[in-house]
Amino acid sequence: MKDLTINTATAYDLPAAFVGRHLIDGAWVDGAAWFERISPSHEVVVSRSAMAGEAETVAAVAAARRAFDAGVWSRISGKERATVLLRVADLIEANVERIAVQETLESGKPISQSRGEVGGAADLWRYAAALARTSHGDSHNSLGDDMLGVVVKDPIGVVSIITPWNFPFWILSQKLPFALAAGCTVVVKPSEMTPSSTIMLGELLIEAGLPAGVCNIVLGYGQPVGSMMSTHKDVDMVTFTGSTAVGKLITQASSGTLKKVALELGGKNPQVIMPDADLENAADAVTFGIYFNVGQCCNSSSRIIVHEDIAERFVARVVELSRQVKFGDPLDDSTQVGAIVTAEHNAKIDGYVQDAIKAGAKVELGGGPLPVDGLGPQFYQPTVVTNVTPDMAIAREEVFGPVLTVLTFKTLDEAIALTNDSDYGLSAGIWSSDIHTCLEFSRRAHAGTVWTNTWMDGYPELAFGGVKQSGQGREIGKYGYDEFLEVKSVVMRVGRDSRAPWVEASA
């Protein structure tokens, strides 16, 4: 903890606990039971939410099914859908502060990051609105004088959307506006740890004029809510973001009805640092990549692969920058890194570090929980671990915390081999002044996204998703929109009596 930059608790009045209810068929519904969320930073109850069971989940799916089959959303024009989505985007921007404060209280992330996440999500809604108006199929006029073929794209139907706790508003906005733009109806289940921003978005959907039943929200736990959303026969697709282990369970559960499943799962994302890189810029990006969202990010660059000639001084610079990152009170505008989501997860992070030390790794910085005066115990020190070997759990498994592991290499081939030596394949990056090196790495790295001389830049136009055990399918961009569409071929005969009879006329 020596020489770290820590923001201790400031004096302010926390808002009253937010009360969240289910949104089913356009109405807010209380639950027979309730659950509470205690802020990981401030150790007070910050939300009280209705808890769904089988009855609420069945009702939500039924409402989505009725709305889809009635065509109140699925069969209106793209222009009409886009108009509602654009209203939602405007309303999000008008409510950034309210939503961001609640997200910070529930998740522990810094308020500046929550503001960026919520405000930035409006752009995803605007881009999805553009896709609603520009989507089209194909025509085939080359099948002969008497035939015309048309390929159309229909909404897939009822979609179950299950979102995680680490980016509750942003990840929902990577899914929901694209599903709605396609004409689908949905049932949404946010994480029980960060439910409130989803309910706040539900309020905005109603205000924007979304018809009843098009978007339904149920609050609760994976059992029974998430399980039923994955298995119900009236659900046509499940899109889930979360751990690889849960993603596998959803795939298994949904197999009984052969519904479509899209998954955005874990990552163990490398950044390769070549000797000819802009090392100062690379060190800053590595520091950002490991501490952003307290490392609780599927895109976290939790392992760096550094050329052995520069490894010692590069790691020293990352350690120096790490000491300058502001950890502490998430409601302080200058805080860059907040709290770990639960005490159990904090202990799990520390377990990875301690096991690595026992296996011969060396801690250059941190390596334990971080006490912050006036706040709860759910903080972890910025941690840099060297002398790591590829077989260690800390180098292979998703730690999901502010813990950076360092491996070294001699040749580009060795760096690429280390990059691909993983069960995951979400993202990867390389730092080099040689464009040929960057392009070769980009072609050979097994990852859904490759960054060169940057890290974690993204745009609504560019698809996001992983390979291997990082998931299947894509989110955002045109490819993410297409996930919510079914392709249908329409074959039309042109001209009267142009089809030759199959049954021969009797004499």
For 306-338, the pLDDT digits (tens) are 999 999 999 999 999 999 999 999 999 999 999
| 215 labelled catalytic | no
- Cα separation values, 476 from 63, 91, 130, 420, 445, Å: 26, 20, 12, 25, 22
- Cα separation values, 63 from 25, 60, 76, 217, 432, Å: 5, 5, 18, 11, 53
Tell me what the mean pLDDT of segment 190-218 comes to: 98
Tell me what the mean pLDDT of segment 219-234 comes to: 97
Q: Which of 56, 298, 398, 483 is catalytic?
A: 298
For 468-483, the pLDDT digits (tens) are 999 999 999 999 999 9
Burial category of 71 from C-beta neighbours within 10 Å (exposed 0-12, middle 13-18, buried 19 and up): exposed
pLDDT(1) > 60: no
Percent of the chain with pLDDT over 70: 99
**Alpha-carbon gap, residue 29 to 27, rounded angstroms:** 6
- pLDDT reported for residue 133: 97
Question: How many other CB atoms are there within 10 angstroms of residue 285's CB atom?
Answer: 22
- The torsion defined by the Cα of 161, 296, 424 and 227, in degrees rounded to 10, comes to -30
- pLDDT reported for residue 507: 67
> Which amino acid does the sequence have at 87?
R
**Beta strand pairing status for 22-24 and 27-29?**
antiparallel
> Which amino acid does the sequence have at 126?
R
Tell me what the mean pLDDT of segment 383-406 comes to: 98
**Beta strand pairing status for 5-7 and 326-328?**
parallel
Cβ 50 vs Cβ 31: under 8 Å: yes
Q: Which of 56, 106, 117, 264 is catalytic?
A: 264
| 486 labelled catalytic | no
- pLDDT reported for residue 81: 98
> Which ranges constitute the DSSP H helices of 95-243?
96-107, 111-134, 168-182, 196-208, 227-231
